[in-house]
Amino acid sequence: MTEVDPPLDWPDYRSTQTRAPSRPLVVLPYALSELSGPAFGNGDVDAADADLTRQGEGEPLGERIVVTGRVVEDDGRPVRNALVEVWQANAAGRYRHDGDRHPAPLDPHFHGAGRCLTDADGAYRFVTVKPGAYPWGNHENAWRPAHIHFSVFGRMFTQRLVTQMYFPGDPLFEYDPIFQSVRDPQARERLVAQFDLSLTQPEWALGYRWDIVLRSTPFEQ
Amino acid sequence: MTLPRTPSQTVGPYFAIGLTQRAQNEVVRDGDVRLIGRVTDGNGEPVSDAMVEICQPEGWGRCGTDADGRYSFVTVRPADGRPLDVLVFARGLLRHLGTRIYFPDAGEDEVLRAVPPEARETLFALEEDGAYRFDIRLRGDGETVFFAV
């Protein structure tokens, strides 16, 4: 809707060419929030769902990491009790999905999906392994930088956000049309987690911090 | 204070492992409305990696499309005669799309009046074999109206 988000029409990402609407979006005649009820999707969330390293018979291969941060509205208020869902490739860059034909090994101990609810401070926390980069056929020698997919529900349906978290310093950033679809360089940086030594667990896991900012609901401003 | 927002990125082709493993397409348990539809692209081809989410005062649900682009929900008609709010996610959509489903007997409202008259019919479900059908054409002939969300 604003320059923060990528355009729908972005031919460098080939799939947009047959899927992005060709007509302009219709601007609604009144505040969006009036259209939408509360966000749902909470469902049953088990604390164990936030640890992606404990979902198989044994431990997955890869670099064990903690990924944590806060979900807040753009006025700084925490989004509490919100459902955060993640999915990702394994350490070798392979998704546990029938459509993924990348000839990298599946890990029998890694399913690659997790969920949790934010706490009273808006904080979420996952334990997982660092995903690998993978080729994706969009153009010659196309590789996705390592990323974790995030789906977030705010308090309102209008705050819904699906995005991807990247890792700092990835040399593939400049070649990735999905990352580059966010035109504002500062906005792009907000897709990149920060390595945070204070989050690492000695002898056990590295730590990354990534905060997520949702738009506020207009009528409450 | 206004913090800069986190940008959207595409849901990609593999979201099913994270988002649609469990059935969540019962917006209202044992609802008496069956809503079906098909998501197609600019070539009229089925979109087999889309996800449709529905929100209404009575509940929320979502459904991934199958190999033929089809989705289905069980719900009820909103009590106040309002339409259903819909979000569409797919590989190839760098941010999600918003649209609305009006039932066939819905009257004109302020939102419909903001839509070009020739495109309004794309927002109406059709009655079909005891169900309501709402096809979503992402692009091209009969392109569904999407709203700035």
- How close is the nearest chain B Cα to the Cα of A38, in Å? 8
Strands B136-137 and B33-40: parallel
Q: Note if A144 is an active site residue.
A: yes
Residue of B nearest to A43 (CA): B24
Say how many CB pairs under 8 Å bridge A and B: 211
Strands B59-64 and B50-56: antiparallel
Q: Round to whole Å and give the CA distance between A41 and B25.
A: 11
| CB spacing of A191 vs B7 below 8 angstroms | yes
With beta carbons under 8 A apart, name residues in chain B contacting A78. none
Of residues B4, B10, B114, nearest to A187 (C-beta): B4
Which of A78, A138, A163 has its CA nearest to residue B3? A78
Q: What are phi and psi of A19, to 5 degrees?
A: -120, -25
Strands A161-166 and A147-152: antiparallel
Give every residue of chain A whose pLDDT is below 50, as ranges: 1, 33, 219-221
Q: Note if A109 is an active site residue.
A: no
Burial of B51 (0-12, 13-18, 19+ CB in 10 A): buried
Find out whether B18 and A113 touch, Cβ atoms under 8 Å. Answer: yes
Give me the tens of pLDDT residue by residue for chain B, a chain 149 residues long.
Answer: 799 999 999 999 999 999 999 899 999 999 999 999 999 999 999 999 999 999 988 899 999 999 999 999 999 999 888 899 999 999 999 999 999 999 999 988 989 999 999 999 999 999 999 999 999 999 999 999 999 87
- Supply the pLDDT for residue A40: 61
**Chain B contact probe: residue of A102, A158, A162 with most B CBs at under 10 A:** A162
- Supply the pLDDT for residue A205: 98
Which of A7, A3, A31 has its CA nearest to residue A17? A7
ipTM score of complex: 0.96
Q: Note if A95 is an active site residue.
A: yes
- Supply the pLDDT for residue A42: 60
Q: What are phi and psi of B18, to 5 degrees?
A: -105, -25
Tokens of A204: 């056990």
Residue B84, beta-bridge partner list: B101
Q: Round to whole Å and give the CA distance between A189 and A13.
A: 19
Q: Note if A13 is an active site residue.
A: no
- Supply the pLDDT for residue A100: 96
With beta carbons under 8 A apart, name residues in chain A contacting B47. 19
